[in-house]
Amino acid sequence: MRRWFPLALLAVLLSSCFPVGRPGVTVGLRFGFDLSPIITRFEPDRGRGASYLVGESVRFVVSLTRAGYVTLVGIDPDGVTYEFDRIFLNPGTHLLSGPPGFRYELRPPRGIQRVRAIYTDTPHPTGFIFRGTYSSEGWDQQTSIYIQRSGSRVRDVAETFFYIR
């Protein structure tokens, strides 16, 4: 028992020396790009995993560490993907509720709704729009193409979800 204690203590001490990555790192590897920690918060106004009824509006809280372009993209439970906002934001926390005169109104299908905020330091790529029916892998691939076509050197992706009842 006495022999194992120093080894166990050494293992604990060594493991504390390894840096802990932020949750977005796995997302970055999934897209094949290094992502910068720009989006520090992204969630629906009722919180991640909240429930909304068809016809209600959803707003999104997004916090950025630097100014840039944010594109919001959703994927329905049936795989239909659509882009629903493009906006330039300054650093800080913002409550996004839709373009002036509009709102993010929820429509069927009911179920889990995933939404991505894609940050780039360059304007949105011309001629590229998220539209179609994709699997999760296809959605990841379209996100990678978007980032690549943007020509951005600083980029980040955050994802959240909520339920439509």
103-122 confidence digits (pLDDT tens): 999 999 999 999 999 999 99
Confidence of residue 25 (pLDDT cuts 50, 70, 90): very low
Structure tokens given for 105: 């109104």
Instruction: Answer yes or no: is pLDDT of 50 > 90.
Output: yes
Q: Are the C-beta atoms of 117 and 104 separated by less than 8 Å?
A: no
Confidence of residue 28 (pLDDT cuts 50, 70, 90): very low
Find out if CATH 2.60.40.1930 is the number for domain 36-164.
yes
Q: What's the rounded Cα separation, in Å, for the pair 138 and 75?
A: 11
Q: 117 CB contacts (<8 Å, ≥6 apart)?
A: 39, 42, 60, 62, 70, 71, 72, 157, 158, 159, 160
Tell me the mean pLDDT in the region 88-95. 98
Domain boundaries, the chain: 36-164
Instruction: Answer yes or no: is pLDDT of 10 > 70.
Output: no
